[in-house]
Structure 1
Amino acid sequence: MSILPMTLKSHCQELELIFIIEYFQIVSKNFTGNTKEKITSIQVISDEPCIPWEIIKPTREIDGVSESAGYFCEEHKMTRWLTGVDIVNKPTIKSIKIVRPNDTNLKKSKDEEDFLKKFWDNEMKSPGNFSKDSTLEQVTASLEKSDFDILHFTTHGAHNQQLASLSEIVLEKGKVLTPTDITRPEVRLQKSNPLVILNACQTGNLGYVLTGIGGWSQSFLSKKASGFIGTLWSVSDESALNFTESLYENLKNKKSLDESVRKARLDVKNKAQSTGDPSWLAYSLYAQPNAKFELEGVSN
């Protein structure tokens, strides 16, 4: 099928429609008698910046009857990856670096930091493998050393719609980290292939830059991060904390990363039912499907 030149928006709309058609064809093939074999995982490998794959809700009409599936991220273990970027494995997690500016006005981010420190002290039984950065200078130095297995940000973030490489993560005293800071030659994430978690506002977005697709996911994965979790839009402070708590508890229970993210987003959904907060839909995971990130020192 050839796609004629068109606007980016219409291109993405056509791509989304093709994906939904293919999805229902796969689902239909999984009917054997009265038994439907469950599709458990979906991975999208692409370099387009505009389709929020996680919140696609396929709908079709057959003989005048409308059939609808749930959101992809709700029904399935949903992962993404980027075209042309090699997938690397990170089987064991031992150390974590949390990035949180001390002067942030996010009320729950301190609770998130405290949870992670307690988790590493008590569950991981390795308090020496928990560390924290607050300033741009500290984060820059840590990126060059790459002496952590998880890099976890809890702060404000903003997506630059004009130039994704100029999107920002806010650090101490208002200084900002951008995706171009990650792609510097001095940054050698291949030394530890970390899992990167940006639990901030609008960190998962991709966008076109002068040389192709850019943004946080592109920058970290191209520097050999083994996985990336970000958000497609602003999430509430409370939901961000709930997501973190559930994510690490599921990893502790030896769930795969994609299953841990799915369970965490459903936990956030359940806790926010009374408010209708859509934060549970915002999370985007770039990782190998069914990848296990074993927390060293945890035993069940």
Structure 2
Amino acid sequence: MSRRLECGSYVAVPTVLAIRRGVQRTPLPAGDHTNTFRGEYHCPPGLPGSRGMESGSYAATLAVLTIKLWHFACHGDFDTQVPNNSPLILQDRYFLRPDDLVGRAQTRLRTDRPLVFLNACRVGQGGLALTGLGGWAATLVGHCRVGALIAPLWSVHDGAARHFAEAFYTACRQAGMTLGEAVWQARVATRNAFPDDTTWLAYSLYAHPNARLVIGGE
């Protein structure tokens, strides 16, 4: 599903920060694809990455670094008690919640307008409402005004989730590729590779569907 939002015509990506799963929870072997992203795209020397951050530093990093693509490959959970504040579960069981993105972090995201890919179970969900967005989508798209957000609505299989992400970024490298078309190509590739898995249907794109991801000087 793509939710059309007026988020601009393109998202330029000179830098990327990929964050891997927490070490205190069920391992995600396919989550190691974040290292591939960090190698393929430009990641400045010394930038905190998949294992380099200490607990509590994620929101602070969001506030000070100019990052144009945030890719999270980790556990997620839907908190039924506070459904619009459900966490990403990161290293050392640090929970990053939508409500953490305030102040300087929100200002930085509104300025940089990155693409944010939350490759974690159920983080595209929000609380029940008659109108508007909820959860991470409400915070990142509505309050922080990021350029684009991709997140799954339900639990996704680790291997299929990795396949979807790799297919999406591969498609984005094609000349003139839009985000909407890249997500569609990733869906088709994932469905063909994992025909008995519903992961290919899980992802929602919150962006202008004709926006483009411009990587480096491409």
Distance apart, 1:218 and its partner CA: 0.7
* Structure (1 or 2) with the larger CA radius of gyration: 1
What residue in structure 1 maps to residue 34 of structure 2? 113
Aligned residue identity for 1:185? G
Q: 2:49 aligns with which of 88, 107, 132?
A: 132
Distance apart, 1:232 and its partner CA: 0.6
- Where in structure 1 are there 5+ consecutive unaligned residues? 1-53, 55-78, 121-125
Cα distance in 2 for residues equivalent to 1:91 and 1:154: 20
What residue in structure 2 maps to residue 38 of structure 1? none
What residue in structure 1 maps to residue 186 of structure 2? 264
Distance apart, 1:164 and its partner CA: 2.0
In the alignment, is residue 285 of structure 1 matched against residue 202 of structure 2? Answer: no
Aligned residue identity for 2:186? A
Give the conservation status (yes or no) of the 8 Å contact 1:157–1:202: yes
Distance apart, 1:136 and its partner CA: 4.0
Aligned residue identity for 1:219? T
> Which secondary structure does the structure 2 equivalent of 1:207 belong to?
coil
Cα distance in 2 for residues equivalent to 1:127 and 1:179: 25
In the alignment, is residue 226 of structure 1 matched against residue 142 of structure 2? Answer: no
- Deviation digits for residues 189-236 of structure 1, max 9, x if unmatched? 112101110001001112148xx8530011011211011000010100
In the alignment, is residue 175 of structure 1 matched against residue 94 of structure 2? Answer: yes
What residue in structure 2 maps to residue 19 of structure 1? none
Give the conservation status (yes or no) of the 8 Å contact 1:153–1:198: yes
Give the conservation status (yes or no) of the 8 Å contact 1:158–1:169: yes
> Which secondary structure does the structure 2 equivalent of 1:293 belong to?
strand
Give the conservation status (yes or no) of the 8 Å contact 2:16–2:38: no
Give the conservation status (yes or no) of the 8 Å contact 1:115–1:245: no
What residue in structure 2 maps to residue 151 of structure 1? 70
CA, structure 1 residues 131+269, in 2 after alignment: closer, same or farther (shift >3 Å)?
farther
Cα distance in 2 for residues equivalent to 1:81 and 1:158: 25
Normalising by the residue count of structure 1, what TM-score does the alignment of the two structures yield? 0.64
RMSD: 2.2
- Where in structure 2 are there 5+ consecutive unaligned residues? none
CA, structure 1 residues 81+206, in 2 after alignment: closer, same or farther (shift >3 Å)?
farther
Distance apart, 1:92 and its partner CA: 1.7
Normalising by the residue count of structure 2, what TM-score does the alignment of the two structures yield? 0.86
Which ranges of 4 or more aligned residues in structure 1 deviate by more than 6 Å? none
Identity %, equivalent residues? 29
What residue in structure 2 maps to residue 43 of structure 1? none
* Structure number with higher relative contact order (C-alpha < 8 Å, ≥ 6 residues apart): 2
Give the conservation status (yes or no) of the 8 Å contact 1:158–1:203: yes
Aligned length: 207
CA, structure 1 residues 285+213, in 2 after alignment: closer, same or farther (shift >3 Å)?
closer
